[in-house]
A = this chain, B = another copy of it.
Amino acid sequence: MKRFDKIAIVGVGLIGGSIGLAVKKRGVAGEVVGVFRRASTMKRAMKRRAIDRGTLSIKDGVRDADLVILAAPVYTIVETAKEVFKYAKPQAIVTDVGSTKSWIVNKVESLKSYSGKSIFFVGSHPMAGSERAGVEAARSDLLEGAPCIVTKTPRTNSSAVSKIISFWKSLGADVKILTPKQHDESVSLASHLPHIVAFALAGAVPLKDFKYAAEGFKDTTRVASSDPQLWADIFLTNRKEIAAACRVFEKYYASVVRAITRGNYKGTVKLLKAAKSKRDKFSYGKR
């Protein structure tokens, strides 16, 4: 179902590309325009047919768009938003896909180029990803069954929120509404912490022992193959919540290690059982 005449995606990598593919597959927009920094990336996105048309100019890309999706790394989103607000048409809705929200939403809402315009910004975080990067890894079903958080602040326009919620739902995502702060708290535990732990594990285990590693190591460290800069952006813009999430992890981890090293069989089993019974309750979307 067509919901927008024209959607502009600024940054067409794994996420932007997957959104483009899904929008085109599901006929959600009349046209999908990709905005790029580099001609080479544009060529790759055209080859994947993730967009209908590409441009290197933000102005050219966004001026007729009803919906603009900022699909860049966290720090870049704010820089890009500044430009987008200059050229977007009145009544346009602008959203993003950044993995931290308070930092982005505060910065974006305070932009001079945003103030006083009838352009509506709504923060989003589609929680789908892969340790692989780039439009080559994009998939039209990446968002299917994935949680997608849409944020609301006192400045958020209600009608724009409704349209953004419908948009993500139309791509198959499981939409939840939170404040940016609630988002950052929950996601620091459910997503940022697992990434930190995976990076630390991959960093810690000596290369010479990799030949003795099997499925357990493989899965536990998979996301450590993710883009370091992208994740550094995320971690550093959510560091207060991440510090709190780390303390929660460290407490459980220390209990497990203490039980093991003291030879406390009952205590070890009890902690592992509690962890297992929680993990057994987890199911991810339709997968």
Chain A residues within CB distance 8 Å of chain B: 127-130, 146-147, 149, 176, 183, 186-187, 189-191, 193-229, 231-232, 235-236, 239, 242-243, 246, 248-249, 251-253, 256-257, 260-261, 263, 265, 268-269, 271-276, 278-282, 284
Contacts and interface: CB of A to CB of B under 8 A. Distances in A.
B205 A217 contact: no
B127 A214 contact: yes
A273 B263 CA distance: 36
Contacts of A276: 199, 202, 224-228
Contacts of A203: 252, 256, 271, 274-275, 278
A268 B199 CA distance: 11
B186 A198 contact: no
B212 A197 contact: no
A239 B260 CA distance: 6
A125 to B, nearest CB: 9
A284 B214 contact: yes
Contacts of A127: 212-214
B215 A129 contact: yes
Given A176-B212, A256-B203, A217 B236 contact: no
A276 B131 CA distance: 10
B273 A228 contact: yes
Contacts of A146: 214
Given A212-B176, A284-B215, A200 B273 contact: no
A176 B249 CA distance: 35
A201 B223 CA distance: 14
B217 A191 contact: yes
Contacts of A190: 205, 209-210, 212-214, 217
25 contacts: A129-B215, A146-B214, A149-B212, A176-B212, A186-B209, A186-B212, A191-B213, A196-B253, A197-B220, A200-B252, A201-B249, A202-B275, A202-B276, A204-B251, A204-B253, A218-B284, A220-B220, A224-B275, A232-B269, A235-B260, A235-B268, A236-B268, A239-B261, A243-B257, A243-B261
Contact of A229 (B209, B231, B257, B269): B269
A129 B222 contact: no
Contacts of A196: 253, 256-257, 260
